[in-house]
Structure 1
Amino acid sequence: MSSPRKNYFTGQFRHTLDDKGRCTVPSAWRKNFEKEDQFLAIPNPGGYVTVLPPAEADKLYDKFAEVPLGDTEAQDEISTFFASTQAFKFDGAGRLALMESLFSHANLEGPKAEVVLVGGMNKFNIYSSERWAAIQAKSTPATQGNTMRRFGI
């Protein structure tokens, strides 16, 4: 019996938001998903948007479902967090249309903004081209080696 197919979000893709603020997601990233699959977009504290596919969103769901309703402080924090997130499905053309506050969080103001979609293996991130350039500028063979050691690669 084979194990469920895992989706690998790898590589980087540059796109321009269309007039309606939509962004095309690479077909290689969409090919193993069904039309009804829901993704979860969350504002990352690093100033970009992280997109969780259904399997990763389900893990998050399970964690929050365990929090007792009587823990009002935790419930308030959960409410505040999820108020700034968005569940979505890709449209028929494989685009995502995030709410304005998420695009603003990533400094993607208005149509025609350039976005960079970057794979994170089990998720992907949406950066402004400026934010991604700053992150790439810090990457050196030494930092890449440190990453490999950190994760036992």
Structure 2
Amino acid sequence: MHTFGVMSNNGSEVYYLLEHRHTVDDKGRVSIPADWRAPEGQETTFFLILWDKGDQPPCLMGLPPSGMQELLRRLQSLSLSDSKAESLQRLLARSAKVTADKVGRIRLPAQLAKAANLGRDVVLKGMVFRFQIWNPEYYAQVEAKDLEQRDESHKLI
């Protein structure tokens, strides 16, 4: 089983699917889709990482705690003397832990939201085991590129 998901009450894994368009409120909060949240009575926590790969515009990558733990395990296995590993650690340290309130909103850290150029309107894009939060204009660019590459992408599976 892939360890990036969170478990629901019935033991099934929560997957981050579909595309959702939401508005960021005046306090910097955005609603997380109900089916992306932990079961009622459990805390919904994510790690938001500034995802700025260079070949696409920046966005925020959302990981559940299990996904962040797996990423940290991978980072710990890298050599301390590897300069690329050090650089990656610095890049991934541009992240924040966020917890949803009772109505399912998370606060987007101002520093991360600014770096990803997020405004009032955002796109939450499910990516099965994680999700991304995009500026709608940036997302349109990435989506167009995805469509151009879909034949090659399908060859991965």
* Normalised TM-score (structure 1): 0.78
How has the CA–CA distance of structure 1 residues 19 and 62 changed in structure 2, closer, same or farther, with 3 Å as cutoff?
same
Is the counterpart of residue 9 in structure 1 residue 16 in structure 2?
yes
Matched residue type, 1:89: T
Indicate the residue corresponding to 1:51 in structure 2.
62
Which residue of 71, 87, 95 corresponds with 2:97? 87
- Establish whether residue 124 from structure 1 lines up as the match of residue 135 from structure 2: no
Amino acid aligned to 1:62: R
The whole-number CA distance in structure 1 between the counterparts of 2:25 and 2:123 is 14
Contact persistence 2:59–2:135 (CA under 8 A): yes
Provide structure 2 residue ranges, at least 5 long, that are not aligned to the other structure: 1-10
Distance across 2 between alignment mates of 1:138 and 1:80 = 28
How far off is 1:38 after superposition? 3.0
Q: Check if 1:143 corresponds to 2:149.
A: yes
State the identity as a percent.
27
Query: What residue identity is the alignment partner of 1:96?
Result: I
Is residue 2:106 matched to residue 1:96? yes
What's the CA shift string for 1:75-118, capped at 9, x where partnerless?
A: 86466335421011111111111211110121114xxx100000
Q: In the aligned structure 1, how far is the partner of 2:131 from the partner of 2:64?
A: 9
Deviation at 1:143, TM superposition (A): 2.9
Q: CA RMSD in A?
A: 2.6
Shift of 1:61: 2.3
Alignment CA distance shift 1:133-1:78 (3 Å): closer
Q: Distance in 2 between matches of 1:104 and 1:134?
A: 19
State the SS of the aligned residue for 1:138.
helix
Counterpart amino acid of residue 72 in structure 2:
Y
Structure 1: 5+ residue stretches without partners:
none
The answer to whether the Cα contact below 8 Å between 1:8 and 1:121 also exists between their aligned partners in 2 is: yes
